[in-house]
Copies of this chain bind each other. A is one copy, B any other.
C-alpha cells in the first residue's frame, strides 16, 4: 500500500493522533496544527509532521490540518476504514473483560466469536458473543473470515493456540499470555503483559529518577 519500513513507534503515534482527532471533533475545532497534535499526544510538532510525511502531505501551510480530512486519512493508513472481525480464544478473566469492553467495538474491532476449552463456558456469553468449544476454532474462524486473533488462554496453551490460528490463516495475533510465541513470519504478533509493564515501573522507581514516560 505505502512505502516500506514504517517504524512501530510511528504507527503507535498515528493511532494516538487518530484518537485525538476523533475526540476533538465534537469540540467544534475544524483545524489542528502539528503543535497542538503534539502537545496533546506527548510528542513534538516536528515528530508529528515527520510521521505524516511518510504517507503524503495532508496539511495546509500557515493553517494546520483539517480535522475531518486527517481523520479519514489516518483511518485509511491504519486500515481502519473497515471493521475487523476478531476471534477471542480463552474466556477466563481477561477474555471476559475483553468481551465486555466496548472500546474495541467503538474503534472498529468486532469480537465475532469466542472459544474456550471448558465446556461450562460454552454457549452465549453475557456480552452477547457466542462461546464455542475449542474444537470449532478452525471451522468458525474460516467461516467468519477472521484474520485477527486474541489469545487469552493460560500460558501453557498459548503456543499451541497460536499455531492453530496461524495454520487456519489468521495473520495477526494479540497475545495476552506471558510467553514468547513462535509463529511463522507470515503472522504478526503483539504481546501485552501487565506484569512486564509493572516491572518496568518497578525499575523506574528503583533506579530513582522521575522521568515521566507516556
- Residue ranges of A at the interface with B (Cβ–Cβ < 8 Å): 1-2, 4, 6, 8, 11-12, 14-16, 18-19, 40-42, 77-80, 84, 86, 93-94, 96-98, 100-101, 103-104, 106-109, 147-148, 171-174, 178, 180-181, 183-192, 194-214
Contacts and interface: CB of A to CB of B under 8 A. Distances in A.
A195 B1 contact: no
A8 B103 CA distance: 27
Count of chain copies: 2
Nearest to A212: B185
A80 B200 CA distance: 10
Contacts of A196: 12, 15-16, 19
23 contacts: A6-B207, A12-B196, A14-B203, A15-B196, A15-B199, A16-B180, A40-B180, A78-B203, A79-B202, A79-B203, A80-B199, A84-B202, A93-B96, A93-B101, A103-B178, A104-B198, A107-B199, A108-B202, A109-B195, A148-B202, A172-B202, A189-B214, A190-B201
B214 A191 contact: yes
A195 B104 contact: yes
A207 B2 contact: yes
Contacts of A2: 207
A56 B23 CA distance: 47
Contacts of A186: 210, 212
B80 A202 contact: yes
B200 A212 contact: no
A11 to B, nearest CB: 5
Given A80-B202, A98-B194, A188-B211, 16 more contacts: A1-B208, A6-B207, A41-B180, A77-B206, A78-B206, A80-B199, A94-B101, A106-B195, A172-B205, A174-B194, A174-B201, A184-B212, A185-B211, A190-B200, A191-B214, A192-B197
A71 B50 CA distance: 41
A122 to B, nearest CB: 20
Nearest to A191: B214
Contacts of A202: 78-80, 84, 108, 148, 172
